[in-house]
């Protein structure tokens, strides 16, 4: 029998049409949304305005949890993210429904680490930050083998928005194609 949190996640995936990238089997998945925030200007010169199509990145929590079996989960997680980015770039370049995507990203507790992959980060509004931080911490405690104790490690208290422009994604990861 599935628990409430599994049912909520399944509903969310259906409601927001969260799709695997590539042929599946990656730690990240993608949903399409319209950007609703203020105009953003990125380091590569890309300007994103309200209404732009965004590829919202979602972590496959079950797959992420499995990475922690046997230890070194953080290193494996990072490796899996870097393995997924070329597949994401290929999808953004080739799938018709993704042709208008201007940026990819989403909220993350791991925004400092995301810079290594080419993401830029921005603060969230106080209300959004409060709600999404609660949810992300809930998911981390739920799926991490250390449970709630994991929340006390490091500085996983601030949630920020991470974004990578289409141009940066394709320049950094578009060659290999996954």
The confidence score (pLDDT) of residue 142 equals 65
The confidence score (pLDDT) of residue 150 equals 52
**10 is a domain residue:** no
The confidence score (pLDDT) of residue 177 equals 44
The confidence score (pLDDT) of residue 135 equals 65
**12 is a domain residue:** no
Residue with tokens 């950007």: 35
**7 is a domain residue:** no
- Coil, strand, or helix at residue 19? strand
What domain range is 22 assigned to? 18-173
At 15-38, the pLDDT tens digits run 888 999 999 899 999 999 999 989
Does residue 150 contact residue 141 with C-beta atoms inside 8 Å?
A: yes
**68 is a domain residue:** yes
**2 is a domain residue:** no
Nearest alpha carbon to residue 57 among 2, 117, 5, 144: 117
The CA distance from 23 to 94, in Å, is 13
Verdict on whether the full-model pTM lies above 0.75: yes
**149 is a domain residue:** yes
**3 is a domain residue:** no
Nearest alpha carbon to residue 159 among 119, 125, 116: 125
**CATH number of the CATH domain containing 40:** 3.40.630
What are the 10-residue block averages of pLDDT along the chain, 178 residues in total? 71 86 93 94 97 94 75 77 96 96 91 92 78 66 59 63 97 75
Total number of domains constituting the chain: 1
The confidence score (pLDDT) of residue 76 equals 84
The confidence score (pLDDT) of residue 60 equals 86
**166 is a domain residue:** yes
Angstrom distances, CA of residue 132 to CA of 110, 136, 158, 174: 13, 6, 10, 30
């Amino acid at each position: 029998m599935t628990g409430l949190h599994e049912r909520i996640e399944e509903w969310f995936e259906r409601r927001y049409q969260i799709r695997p990238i590539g042929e599946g089997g990656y730690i990240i998945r993608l949903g399409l949304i319209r950007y609703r925030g203020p105009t953003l200007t990125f380091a590569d010169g890309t300007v994103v305005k309200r209404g732009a199509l965004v590829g919202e990145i979602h972590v496959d929590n079950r797959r992420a949890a499995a990475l922690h079996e046997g230890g070194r989960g953080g290193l494996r997680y990072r490796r899996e993210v870097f393995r997924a980015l070329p597949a994401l770039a290929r999808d953004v370049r080739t799938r018709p429904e993704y042709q208008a995507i201007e940026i990819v990203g989403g909220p993350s507790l791991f925004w400092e680490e995301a810079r290594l992959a080419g993401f830029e980060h921005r603060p969230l509004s106080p209300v959004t930050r409060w709600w999404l931080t609660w949810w992300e911490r809930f998911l981390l405690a739920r799926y991490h083998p250390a449970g709630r104790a994991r929340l006390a490690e490091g500085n996983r208290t601030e949630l920020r928005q991470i974004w990578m422009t289409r141009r940066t994604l394709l320049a950094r990861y578009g060659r290999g194609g996954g």
